[in-house]
Chain A
Amino acid sequence: MHHKPPIFFEDVAIGQEIPSYVRKSGLMEWNRFAGANEEYFIYHMEDKAAQAMGGPAVFSMGNLRFAYLYNLLTNWLGQDGDIRRVSCQYRGLHVQEDTLTCTGKILDKYEKAGEHLVELEVAIVNQRGENTAPGNAIVVLPSRSAQ
């Protein structure tokens, strides 16, 4: 993702989909994230505790879901673009062996206060086609006119 050629504002179009970001996320990823974010909840570790809350089995941290949407955006933007806003709602739970496909589609592009902004609809779709994180993002892209 580093030293990746910039994505220029002029080169993106409304309706365009950005490259997806796919993770098959399980305990190896969750535990590493729990360690970084001090997020040691029993329902992220033990099936019985997750089931007592009404879940099917041990499930992943919501913050990791958010992190994957940031990865979707930063992998696309490289170092020349910036994230201005990301939002999502968590729907349902991510359990082990789920395949999570993070997607983004360009809804709008415009200039505001000298910045070249792009609005996207983002989502995390599981292997059953369910959108588990509907959301939106606004990013800043470099412009060819500013070069």
Chain B
Amino acid sequence: MGAPETLITSEMRSRMGVESIRVSDPIDKSLIRQWALALSWPDAPDPLFWDEEYAKTTRFGGIIAPPFFNPFAYNITAQRVRQMAQRDAGATSGQRQQPAENEPPFRIPSGLNAGGEAEHTGVPIRPGDVITATSKAVDAYERTGRTAGRMVITVTETRWTNQKGELVRVYRGTSLRY
């Protein structure tokens, strides 16, 4: 079997430009605190992220989330839990993930995070906020890496707005499949 002409699958092509929307739960103070602690560990996090009395005295007038906070980490649907469980069941003890039928044999079919670009508008996330994320794939191209060989790079753009309709963050994330 020769090498496929392109590693960009029809499934990747069909997803291009198609928007998907997720809505967060109202953001809880304790979730912000957990994030702040995880990000600063082993240093103590800034009290701006967890101490309401202190945060009131700042220019923000109350607790805000760290700029890197992700309100969608536990945005779990039954379908997503099944997908994750399936992924994890096939990933024990050094096994590779199995590619789907007719897909190029990627070693990491789900993709590896390769970095990205975040734009912040200056509107912070606060406790009680509900964030709506609108995502779409915006680019897919091939490259040859020094160690990984041929790979597909996909770029996904995600826009976060809060319950007042204010734009909070735009993120263009790059993912590698090889």
**Could you tell me which A residues sit within 8 Å of B by CB distance?**
1-2, 28-29, 32-33, 35-43, 46, 48-49, 51-54, 61-63, 66-67, 70-71, 74, 79-80, 82-90, 133, 135, 140
> Closest approach, in angstroms, between the C-beta of A145 and any C-beta of chain B?
18
Rounded to whole angstroms, the CA-CA distance of A38 and B95 in the bound complex is: 21
Known A-B contacts A66-B115, A88-B115; A42 and B88 likewise in contact (beta carbons under 8 Å): yes
6 closest residue pairs by CB, A with B: A48-B94, A87-B117, A36-B38, A62-B113, A42-B91, A38-B73
The residue on A at minimum CB distance from B95 is A52
A–B pairs, 8, beta carbons within 8 Å: A35-B34, A49-B95, A53-B96, A66-B68, A80-B59, A85-B120, A89-B114, A140-B122
> Closest approach, in angstroms, between the C-beta of B13 and any C-beta of chain A?
24
Query: CB within 8 A of A46: which of B39, B94, B114, B117?
Result: B94
The residue on B at minimum CB distance from A2 is B46
Taking CB atoms and an 8 Å cut-off, the chain B residues in 70-128 that contact chain A are: 70, 73-74, 76, 88, 91-96, 107-108, 112-120, 122
Rounded to whole angstroms, the CA-CA distance of A115 and B76 in the bound complex is: 39
Query: CB within 8 A of A35: which of B38, B48, B88?
Result: B38
Rounded to whole angstroms, the CA-CA distance of A2 and B169 in the bound complex is: 23
Chain B 27-64, CB within 8 Å of chain A: the 1/0 string?
Answer: 00000001101111110001110000010001110000
Rounded to whole angstroms, the CA-CA distance of A62 and B37 in the bound complex is: 18
Range of interface residues on chain B?
Answer: 35 or more
> Closest approach, in angstroms, between the C-beta of B39 and any C-beta of chain A?
5
Q: A71-B39, A133-B115, A140-B122 are in contact. List 7 more A-B contacts (CB 8 A).
A: A1-B46, A32-B37, A36-B38, A53-B112, A74-B66, A84-B120, A89-B114
The residue on B at minimum CB distance from A63 is B113
> Closest approach, in angstroms, between the C-beta of A30 and any C-beta of chain B?
10
Query: CB within 8 A of B59: which of A74, A79, A89?
Result: A79
- B10 part of interface (Cβ distance < 8 Å): no
Known A-B contacts A37-B73, A89-B174; A42 and B59 likewise in contact (beta carbons under 8 Å): no
- B67 part of interface (Cβ distance < 8 Å): yes
Taking CB atoms, residues of chain A closer than 8 Å to B115 are 62, 66, 87-90, 133, 135
The residue on B at minimum CB distance from A139 is B120
Taking CB atoms, residues of chain A closer than 8 Å to B3 are none
Rounded to whole angstroms, the CA-CA distance of A19 and B117 in the bound complex is: 22
Rounded to whole angstroms, the CA-CA distance of A55 and B1 in the bound complex is: 27
Known A-B contacts A36-B73, A82-B122; A54 and B117 likewise in contact (beta carbons under 8 Å): no
Chain B 118-154, CB within 8 Å of chain A: the 1/0 string?
Answer: 1110100000000000000000000000011000000
